């Protein structure tokens, strides 16, 4: 009888957790197209809450402190955009004028290399179809890619979505940030009293990991973006500023920003410069930048205390993008951090349980 009494609440908890997970997945599936501003706003509120709480302790009203921090964030983003826009616009304009010559230079370089390979290994070593593709179709493909990119950027639907995100996100973030202590207190009041301390400890561990990862990753992305932008610009690469900043931004996915930036820069360098020397310089820039990040910046600001393996972060980001699009990318790291903390908690419980500690039964 007592076993039935004890097993009842346990099965109820298991069913409740399973039902909550199913409802959460269904909710994300149904409303993922409209959730992006709300998830972004929640992330901003989580990031700015310590600063607003500090202002509150200085007797600044919560609403006023929220408005101050949000306006400071918006002003910082707007100032950065205003400072970078003329440079980026000038580089894009320069690229549009030089693109035909760069494509022609790239075709000549590849054709020259193919001829060199044929002279070394024989005329039948390289397929004639490949030679035809390089000499005749590469320009068409590049032109099509540029036209497609301009159409995508200029599509009204994309512009409307971006404007909606920029308008709705700050408004929702204000209410999230202003009422953040109320949300935390309400969730805390729903915790089961018998497991209250355990759940709080797990939540604090998840919060610590997220704070450390976001802060460290932001510093790494900023370092890589600034380093690549300055180095590529000094190397004379057209669009080096744009590629460098984009590579730094994409570096929140480990190594992806460096790989994308390196491939893009090398292709542009092959079309822009006649010799191979500048291509080698561009490649060295990305190698040096990644080495500095891996062995100097990341150990200083990320370290080994996060509990988030780069492999799992990459997998989570790609899995989130495949499942829920950009919304999944935003949710990937928090979900991964949560699962990691829970997995380590249950592993500790297992290692302290009779299932692990009991000696084998000789009668079995």
Q: Where are the domains of the chain?
A: 196-353
Sign of the Cα pseudo-torsion (30, 36, 39, 41, in order): negative
Q: What is the pLDDT of residue 344?
A: 87
Q: What is the pLDDT of residue 64?
A: 94
Q: What is the pLDDT of residue 155?
A: 47
Q: What is the pLDDT of residue 6?
A: 45
Residue positions counted in the chain: 364
Q: What is the pLDDT of residue 3?
A: 45
DSSP 8-state symbol, 124:
T
Q: Which residues of the chain have pLDDT under 50?
A: 1-7, 145, 148-157
The tens digit of pLDDT for each residue in 85-144 reads 777 777 666 666 666 666 666 666 667 666 676 666 666 555 555 555 555 555 555 555
Q: What is the pLDDT of residue 69?
A: 94
Residue by residue, DSSP assigns 191-247 as S-GGGHHHHHHHHHHHHHHHHHHHHHHHHHHHHHHHHHHHHHHHTT-TTHHHHHHHH
- C-beta of residue 197 within 8 angstroms of C-beta of residue 345: no
Q: What is the pLDDT of residue 37?
A: 87
CA–CA dist 5, 330 (Å, integer):
42
- C-beta of residue 324 within 8 angstroms of C-beta of residue 336: no
**∠ CA 181-187-191, rounded to 5°:** 140
**pTM here?**
0.71
CA–CA dist 100, 106 (Å, integer):
10
């Amino acid at each position: 009888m007592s076993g039935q009494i004890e097993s009842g609440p346990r099965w109820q908890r298991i069913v409740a957790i399973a039902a909550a997970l199913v409802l959460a997945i269904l909710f994300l599936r149904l409303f993922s197209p409209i959730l992006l501003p709300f998830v972004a706003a929640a992330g901003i509120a989580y990031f700015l809450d310590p600063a607003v709480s500090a202002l509150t302790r200085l007797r600044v009203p919560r609403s006023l402190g929220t408005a101050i921090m949000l306006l400071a964030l918006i002003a910082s983003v707007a100032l950065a955009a205003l400072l970078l826009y003329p440079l980026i616009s000038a580089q894009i304009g320069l690229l549009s004028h030089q693109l035909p010559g760069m494509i022609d230079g790239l075709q000549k370089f590849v054709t020259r290399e193919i001829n060199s390979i044929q002279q070394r290994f024989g005329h039948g070593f390289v397929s004639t179809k490949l030679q035809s593709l390089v000499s005749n179709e590469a320009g068409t493909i590049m032109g099509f890619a540029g036209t497609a990119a301009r159409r995508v950027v200029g599509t009204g639907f994309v512009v409307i979505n971006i404007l909606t995100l920029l308008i709705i996100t700050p408004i929702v973030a204000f209410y999230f940030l202003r009422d953040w202590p109320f949300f935390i207190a309400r969730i805390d009041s729903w915790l089961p009293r018998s497991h209250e301390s355990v759940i709080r400890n797990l939540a604090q561990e998840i919060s610590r990991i997220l704070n450390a990862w976001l802060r460290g990753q932001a510093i790494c992305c900023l370092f890589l973006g600034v380093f690549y932008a300055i180095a590529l610009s000094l190397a004379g690469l057209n669009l080096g500023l744009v590629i460098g900043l984009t590579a730094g931004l994409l570096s929140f996915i480990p190594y992806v920003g460096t790989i994308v930036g390196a491939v893009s820069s090398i292709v542009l360098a092959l079309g822009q410069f006649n010799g191979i020397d500048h291509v080698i310089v561009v490649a060295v820039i990305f190698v040096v930048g990644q080495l500095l990040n891996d062995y100097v910046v990341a150990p200083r600001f990320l370290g080994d205390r996060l509990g988030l393996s780069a492999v799992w972060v990459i997998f989570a980001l790609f899995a989130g993008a495949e499942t829920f699009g950009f919304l999944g990318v935003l949710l990937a790291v928090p979900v991964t951090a949560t699962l990691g903390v829970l997995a380590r908690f249950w592993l500790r419980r297992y290692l302290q349980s009779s299932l692990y500690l009991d000696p084998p039964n000789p009668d079995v």
